[in-house]
Structure formats: C-alpha cells, structure tokens
C-alpha cells in the first residue's frame, strides 16, 4: 500500500480497514497461515534494499532486547520488519514467517505499509524508482487481496469459533442460547481434556462437546450403535407419551486410545458419544491416551488430564482444564504452567549440562582427527565433517539455551540420534565385514538376472535373507537359498518392460540368480530418479558409485582414508560408551543419572513425543556394555530376533548372560525370544533376572504382565502392569492391557489376586 498525499485516500482507507479487522479478531486464535512472500512492486524495491542493509548492520553490531523480541508489541511499524529474525529479506523479495494470530498479521500489515509509505521513501536520498500509477495500482491490489483473504478467514473459521465460544460459556453458566437462565439447559458433566471410558471398554479424551436436540422420549445410549432409549421417570419404555418436544442432550467428541481400539479390534480414531455411555477415568495408570491426533488438540498432559491448546481453550474457556488467557474470562485461578518443580528444574539442568559436556568432547575429538584442511573436499572428510556439524549444533544450541526445562527433550533427542547413528554404523560395518567374503557383488555394480535377463543396480545386500524365502517362486533350482546372500536390486525400466510388460520396483534377489553385467556404456533408466547424494554414474567404469557413508556401512574399501574412518568411528563409539555407562552406573564424571531420566519420564514429559525420547534413551543405556564383543553379540542377537531367527537369537543371548550374568538387557532379550517361542515359564524367569539387575526395567515388567494376561491370570497381570506404569506411565500398550484386565476382573472372569492365598497354595 502506498501513502502519497491527502488527496489519495484509497491506500489509507484500506490500511485502516485491515487494522480494524485485526483489532476485531485479535483474541481469536486460528490455524497458522502459510508464510507470505512479496516482490516488487508489491513492496518498494529501494525500501527493501534499505531494510536488508539495516538488518545486516544491527545483526552485526547490537542485540535486540529479548523481551521486546518475544512480546510481539512492536511499537513502531518498522520494528517487526527490522528485528524479527524469522523474516527473510533480500533486495528483490521479503518473506514473512507463518502467521498464527491477528496480532502477527497486524505487524505484517504495518510493515508493508511502512515499506510502501512515501515518507519512508523520501528519506532515501537515492530514491529514483518510479512511483507511477502502475506501481500504486499493484500495491492497492495487494491490499484488496488482503482484505478479501481476511474476510474469507473470518467467515469460514473465526466467526464460527467466536460463536462456539459464546455458546459454550452460556451453557457452562446455565443459560440458553438466547442468554436467559433456563432450567432445560443440560448440565455438561465432562470437560475438554478429561479422560473417560466407554461402556464398550475403550478409553479416550474429550476434545469437544455440543448440545443436541432429540425428538425421542429417551436419550440415545450410543450414537455409534442402533438407537435405543433409556427409561426415565415419567417416560415409558415404549416412548408412547405423546410428547414430541425436542429434548436436549450433551454429545461429546472423543479421541479413542489407539491401543484400546487395536486390542478391541476397532478402527475408531475419533467418535461422537452421548454422556450416558461414559465414565471418568480416575486411575493414574489409565489416563495417558495414545492417539495420533492428541498433539493437534492438546498442549501437554498434566495432573491427570490433557491441557487444551490455545484454540480449544478459546472455544471452551470455562472447561475445567482450559488454561484460558483471554480477557473476558476472570477468576480461573490457573497456575502458571511454566512454574516447574525445583526437582524437575534440577533434573533438566543436570541432563542439559551432561549433554553439553559430551557434545564439547565430541567436537574436540572430531576437530583434532580431521587432519589437513586442504583435504576437506575428500568424501571421507565430508562424512566426518557432517558428524562434526551434528556435534557442534548440540553444543551451540545448549550454549544459547534460555530455558533448560523445556529444551531438555530437544537435546536428548539430538544426542540420542547421534549416538544411535555412531553405534549403528560401527556395528553394521563390523557385521558386514564378517560376511563380506561370501558376497560376490558390490554396491553400485550392475548385475543381470540369469533367467529373466533384466539388468539392475545393486542397492544393498544381506548376508542371508531377512525373511523366510523357502516357499518363494523361482528358487526351486537353488540349494539352501536361506543360507545365501540376497541383494536389493533396482531393475532397469526398459529391460523390465521387455521382459514383463511394465517397469518393476526394487527386487529382492538371491545371489545365485545374478551375474555381473558387462559393457554398460550408458546409465540405467529407473522408474524413479536415484538420489544424487547417494549414487553417481561413472561412465568410464560402467557402474554407479555409492556415497562414502554407504561404502562404510557395507564394509567396502574407502581408499587411503579407510583406517582413519574406522579409527574415528571406533573412538567415537568408545567416547559415547564411556559416557552412557557413566550415566547408567553412576560414574564419577557423570553429570546426570538414570534417576534424572526416570524423573523426566514420570513428571517432565508432557506428551508422547517427549516421553518416547526419554524411554528410548533409557533403552540404549540398558544395552550398553564395557565389553565391545558382548555388545556386538547383543546387536547380532537383536537382528536375528527381528528376522524371526529365534533359535539363533536364543543361543546368542544365552552365551552373553553366561559370560556376563549382570548384563540385564541380554536377560530381557532372552525373555522376549523365549516368550515368542512359547516357553513362558523360562521367559518369566529371565525377565526376573533382568529385574534383579535393575528393578526399574519397565520392559521386563511389561513382558511378565503380558504372559500372565495370556494365561488369564488377570490379578498377577494387573500387578505387573501397575508396577510398569508407575515407572514409565507412557507405555500405551501396557495401559490398554491393564484396562482390559481390570474390565475382566469387574466382569468376574477371575477373583482378585490374593497374595497370602497364593503363597499358601504354593507351599502346599
């Protein structure tokens, strides 16, 4: 928009209309709008250049007051464009970030108006750009488009949200839709964010409610089944009262726990239910609901309920769990959610400092092992540089930390990802080196199918097939295919069309069915383009070259830097192992402990994503061993277990616990494979060995509970499940199984477990 003089009223009028719209909807949250990019002449080119120069100057010379940056109260129209670090400014464009509310939209409107204001341009001595009629029309057109978009947003979303808010407040205050007190307005018993259980045994969390009208004489017991009526005083069961007055009832929108739905063989995700079929869930072990949509509606889980996000809290401000921040709702008495307990703050700080320590140590080691800078163009050095960048990002982000309580999960996730990558790459190369002599073809080579004649690229290989191939077609002529290497082959599209009439996706092919393809002058043609970062065609060699990381994983020669790469990864693995063992076993240099992680799991994690990070990190701690050979053997056994090779896996785990009886995770994995082989008594015995080593092994407790549940020993299963959830309350499958066991007890399937009676019967 362009302000020129008092005679040109259109830009000023449009500007005021947009600001008035922002004031009207300043308290109404909306779904984030995508980033907005503007180009000249929508915004003045010279003003953009001046803005770019100014932002470069202030970034290099001064810091903006953080409270001003975060408050969003930009006093001058130029402040938002000048100081917001999320805005991208170039001489020929400006991109504003995602817009989450009307206040941010107002800041953008003011910034654009300032950029196009003639007074702004008058201060630029070199301003020679044309301010003709075409430019003005383009900027006015932008304003009209903005007004149109705002009106569409309010009519399609915001007005409805405001109406729902007003209605929910009237209902909570016992008033009808016209605002008058009315005894016929039903009482809404449950609240958004409350966890409930249905008569069909599934649990869920309420994400909304509404008042519905029903002509029938009784309320529907369920909207998901055929209609039937409930008897009430003065109403016959047949419904022949002659009263056709519409009755009001409350209808709830519920997110169903996905694990409950799976165990009950249901496909429900979100569902509408009447009040009569629901009961509140007060058991702390059953209150954490798992559903992929939870994060869309709630900010966190806290105090036995889910806290609605700002949009849900706006629509239902008087619901018990809404942390409402809007001016027309007073007296809620909500506690600031940012006030964490001292113990939680101490735990978060300890974990953050521990990650800071290990990240700096990793950076120091990697920087020292990189060698000469002139060799940094080498692919091996690029791979190591990538690792250095990952470690540096952890250290830099922690150094700029503002609130360790809320960032601890982010840093744990970064350290976990780095640790898993190093451990996975080290073990994978080690495992593949053991079988390399049996593998005939290398990554990137072009092979040809002996029977069907199509060529293909070798993407990966397995020393033995990862699945049962004993009944596969085309393997009848191969002796013991289960013991032969198998390859992931990406077939040439043209060859497949000739052989099969259509291109094929990657195939899994036995080594005995392949031969090396010769005279490959041209690259193959694939149905989908190869990732250029992973595969490069080298014409004079007639093959593709894989990335250095893939070469490392598949035990291929890395040239002159092979020894450097292997030594670097081994040293990184050693550094990380020492750190992890210190956390688990309480080393003298450890800055945080398992106690800190379990405390975060119980009290710090406010959502499933954060809890998953912590519990996965704990699992990796249990896997660690100071004996590298035993750790490699554990990973071998886990790989065999995942591939269904139970006998081999059992042998691996048994050898480990014989060598080191205090290796708890080996006992736990042995319990798992024994359960899968149907040897439940031995499985429980192994799980108890894992618990003897660490009584907080929630995996072992979950396994024991599952065995007892399968045997219909619901009382014993309940005991194990409760112990498990008291340690890790976020294990969704465990809480679902506990809920089912409790339902079976309530239905009289089994009497509650009596420990004294059990001991007496055992001694007898």
For residue 486, give the H/E element and its range. Answer: strand 486-491
| H helix or E strand, kind and range, residue 572 | helix 562-585
Provide the pLDDT confidence category of residue 396 given band limits of 50, 70 and 90: confident
Quick count: other Cβ atoms within 10 Å of Cβ 90?
Answer: 12
| 95 confidence band (pLDDT: 50, 70, 90) | very high
Report the interhelical angle of 379-399 vs 562-585 (nearest 10°).
Answer: 30
Average pLDDT over residues 66-92: 70
Question: Which strands make up the sheet holding 93-96, listed edge to edge?
Answer: 36-38, 93-96, 88-90
Token match 């003897």: residue? 692
Q: Would the pLDDT of 258 be above 70?
A: yes
Residue 679 CB neighbours (<10 A) = 15
Q: Which residue has the tokens 């405001």?
A: 162
Lowest model confidence (mean pLDDT) among 64-73, 246-255, 679-688, 724-733: 64-73
In the chain, the N- to C-terminal Cα span, in Å, equals: 92
Looking at domain 597-607+614-763, its CATH architecture is Alpha Horseshoe (1.25)
- Average pLDDT of the residues in 627-653: 96
- In this prediction, residues 343-362 reach a mean pLDDT of 93
The string of DSSP codes covering 263-330 is HTT---SEEEEEGGGEEE---GGG-----TTHHHHEEEEETTEEEE-HHHHHHSTTSTT-----TT--
Is the pLDDT reported for residue 507 higher than 80? Answer: yes
Query: What's the whole-number mean pLDDT along residues 429-457?
Result: 96
Indicate the SS3 state at residue 92.
coil
C-alpha to C-alpha distances, 306 to 193, 194, 206, 599, nearest whole angstrom: 5, 7, 9, 19
41 cis-preceded (ω within 30 degrees of 0): yes
For residue 663, pLDDT over 60 is answered with yes
| 742/720 Cα distance (integer angstroms) | 13
3-state secondary structure at position 445: coil
Reported confidence tier of residue 309, pLDDT bands at 50, 70, 90: very high
pLDDT at 355 > cutoff 50:
yes
Query: What gap in Å lies between CA 1 and CA 145, rounded to an integer?
Result: 11
Token output for 423: 């451990």
In this predicted model, which residue has the larger pLDDT, 122 or 137? 137
Q: Please tell me the distance from the alpha carbon of residue 637 to that of residue 645, in angstroms, as a whole number.
A: 9
**Per-residue confidence (pLDDT) for residue 23, from 0 to 100:** 93
- Looking at residue 210, what is its pLDDT? 92
CA-nearest of 425, 422, 414, 377 to 392 is 414
Domain 443-553 has CATH 2.30.30.390: yes
For residue range 152-168, what is the model confidence (pLDDT) as tens digits? 999 999 999 999 999 99
pLDDT of residue 764 exceeding 70, the answer is no
What pLDDT is recorded for position 332? 43
Mean pLDDT of the chain: 85
Residue-wise pLDDT tens digits, 599-610: 999 999 999 999
Q: What is the reported pLDDT for 131?
A: 55
pLDDT, tens only, 550-591:
999 999 998 888 898 999 999 999 999 999 999 999 877 778
CA-angle at 126, arms to 121 and 129, nearest 5°: 65
Inter-CA distances, 106 with 30, 64, 202, Å: 14, 21, 45
Q: What percent of the chain has pLDDT over 70?
A: 83
Q: How confident is the model at residue 224 (pLDDT cuts 50, 70, 90)?
A: very low
pLDDT tens-digit series, residues 230-252? 333 333 333 444 445 567 889 99
pLDDT reported for residue 227: 39
Q: Residue 749: its pLDDT value, please?
A: 57
Is it the case that residue 212 has pLDDT exceeding 90?
no
* Residue 236 confidence (pLDDT): 33
| Cα–Cα distance, 223 to 227 (Å, whole number) | 7
Number of other residues whose CB lies within 10 A of the CB of residue 402: 8
What pTM was computed for the model?
Answer: 0.83
Share of the chain above pLDDT 90, in %: 62
| pLDDT attached to residue 246 | 64
Residue 225 has pLDDT above 80, yes or no: no
What's the longest Cα–Cα distance across the chain? 104
Q: For residues 476-504, b (16+ Cβ closer than 10 Å) or e, as one string?
A: eeeeebeebbbbbbbbbbebbeebeeebb
Q: Residue 340: which pLDDT band, with cuts at 50, 70 and 90?
A: low
Nearest residue to 443 via CA among 559, 544, 512, 515? 544
> Domain residue spans in the chain?
10-160, 186-230+245-336, 340-438+559-596+608-613, 443-553, 597-607+614-763
Determine the Cα–Cα distance for residues 227 and 220; give it in Å rounded to an integer. Answer: 6
Per DSSP, the three-state class of 195 is strand
Residues with Cβ within 8 Å of residue 568, at least 6 apart in sequence: 366, 369, 384
- The answer on pLDDT for 333 being more than 80 is no
Confidence of residue 383 (pLDDT cuts 50, 70, 90): confident
pLDDT at 456: 97
Whether 527 contacts 493, CB under 8 Å:
yes
Quick one: pLDDT at residue 241? 44
Q: What is the pLDDT of residue 266?
A: 79
Average pLDDT, integer, range 83-107: 89
pLDDT category, 77, cuts 50, 70, 90?
A: confident
Regarding predicted confidence, which is higher, 413 or 125? 413
**What confidence tier does 228 reach under pLDDT thresholds 50, 70, 90?**
very low
At residue 174, the pLDDT reads 84
What is the band of 759 on the pLDDT scale with cuts at 50, 70, 90?
A: very low
Segment 449-460 mean pLDDT: 96
pLDDT of residue 185: 78
The whole-number average pLDDT for the span 64-80 is 57
């Amino acid at each position: 928009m362009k302000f020129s003089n008092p005679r040109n009223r259109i830009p000023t009028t449009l500007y005021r209309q947009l600001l008035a719209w922002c004031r009207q909807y300043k308290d109404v949250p909306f779904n984030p709008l995508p980033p907005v990019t503007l180009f000249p002449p929508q915004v003045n080119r010279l003003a953009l250049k001046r803005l770019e120069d100014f932002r470069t100057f202030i970034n290099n010379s001064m810091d903006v007051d953080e409270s001003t940056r975060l408050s969003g109260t930009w006093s001058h129209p130029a402040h938002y464009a000048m100081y917001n670090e999320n805005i991208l400014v170039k001489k020929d464009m400006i991109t504003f970030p995602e817009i989450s509310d009307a206040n941010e939209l107002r800041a953008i409107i003011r910034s654009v108006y300032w950029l196009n204001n003639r007074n702004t341009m008058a201060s630029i001595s070199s301003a020679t750009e044309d301010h003709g009629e075409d430019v003005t029309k383009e900027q006015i057109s932008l304003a009209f488009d903005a007004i149109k978009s705002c009106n569409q947003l309010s009519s399609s979303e915001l007005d409805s949200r405001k109406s729902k808010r007003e209605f929910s407040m009237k209902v909570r205050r016992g008033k009808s839709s016209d605002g008058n007190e009315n005894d016929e307005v039903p009482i809404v018993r449950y609240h958004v964010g409350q966890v409930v259980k249905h008569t069909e045994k599934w649990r869920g969390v309420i994400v909304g409610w509404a008042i519905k009208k029903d002509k029938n004489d009784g309320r529907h017991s369920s909207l998901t089944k055929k209609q039937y009526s409930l008897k009430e005083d003065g109403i016959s069961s047949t419904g022949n009262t002659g009263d056709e007055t519409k009755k009001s009832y409350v209808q709830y929108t519920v997110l169903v726990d996905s694990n409950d739905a799976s165990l009950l063989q249901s496909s429900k995700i979100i569902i509408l239910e009447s009040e009569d079929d629901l009961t509140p869930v007060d058991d702390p072990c059953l209150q954490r609901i798992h559903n992929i949509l939870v994060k869309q509606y709630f900010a966190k889980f806290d105090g036995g309920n889910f806290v609605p996000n700002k949009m849900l809290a706006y629509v239902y401000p008087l619901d018990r769990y809404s942390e409402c921040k809007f001016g027309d709702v007073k007296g809620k008495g909500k506690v600031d959610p940012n006030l964490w307990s001292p113990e939680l703050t101490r735990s978060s700080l300890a974990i953050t400092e521990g990650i800071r320590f290990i990240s700096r140590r990793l950076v120091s080691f990697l920087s020292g092992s990189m060698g000469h800078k002139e060799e940094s163009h080498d692919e091996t050095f690029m791979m190591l540089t990538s690792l250095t960048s990952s470690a540096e990002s952890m250290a830099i982000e922690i150094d700029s930390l503002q609130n360790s309580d809320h960032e601890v999960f982010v840093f744990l996730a970064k350290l976990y990802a780095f640790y898993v990558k190093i451990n996975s790459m080290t073990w994978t190369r080690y495992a593949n080196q053991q079988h390399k002599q049996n593998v005939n073809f290398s990554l990137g080579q072009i092979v040809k199918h002996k029977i069907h004649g199509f060529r293909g690229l070798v993407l990966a290989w397995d020393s033995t097939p990862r699945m049962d191939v004993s009944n596969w077609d085309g393997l009848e002529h191969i002796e013991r295919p289960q013991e032969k290497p198998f390859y992931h082959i990406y077939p040439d599209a043209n060859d497949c069309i000739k052989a099969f009439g259509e291109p094929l996706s990657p195939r899994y092919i036995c080594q005995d069915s392949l031969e090396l393809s010769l005279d490959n002058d041209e690259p193959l043609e694939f149905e989908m383009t190869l990732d250029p970062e992973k595969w490069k065609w080298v014409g004079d060699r007639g093959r593709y070259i894989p990335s250095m990381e893939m070469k490392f994983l598949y035990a291929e020669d890395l040239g002159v830097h092979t020894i450097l790469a292997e030594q670097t990864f081994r040293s990184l693995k050693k550094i990380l192992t020492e750190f992890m063992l210190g956390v688990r076993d309480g080393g003298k240099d450890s800055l945080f402990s398992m106690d800190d992680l379990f405390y975060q799991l119980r009290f710090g994690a406010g959502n499933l994503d954060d809890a998953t990070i912590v519990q996965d990190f704990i699992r990796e701690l249990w896997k660690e061993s100071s004996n590298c050979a035993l750790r490699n053997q554990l990973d071998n056994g886990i790989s065999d277990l995942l591939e269904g090779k139970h006998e081999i896996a059992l042998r691996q785990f048994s050898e480990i616990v014989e060598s080191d009886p205090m290796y708890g995770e080996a006992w736990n994995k042995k319990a798992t494979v024994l359960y899968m082989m149907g040897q439940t008594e031995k499985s429980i015995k192994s799980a108890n060995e894992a618990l003897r080593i660490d009584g907080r092994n929630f995996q072992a407790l979950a396994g024991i509970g599952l065995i007892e549940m399968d045997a219909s020993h619901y009382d014993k299963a309940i005991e194990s499940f409760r112990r498990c959830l008291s340690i890790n309350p976020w294990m969704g499958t465990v809480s679902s199984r506990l809920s089912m066991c409790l339902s079976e007890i309530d239905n009289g399937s089994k009497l509650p477990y009596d420990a004294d009676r059990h001991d007496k019967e055992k001694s007898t």
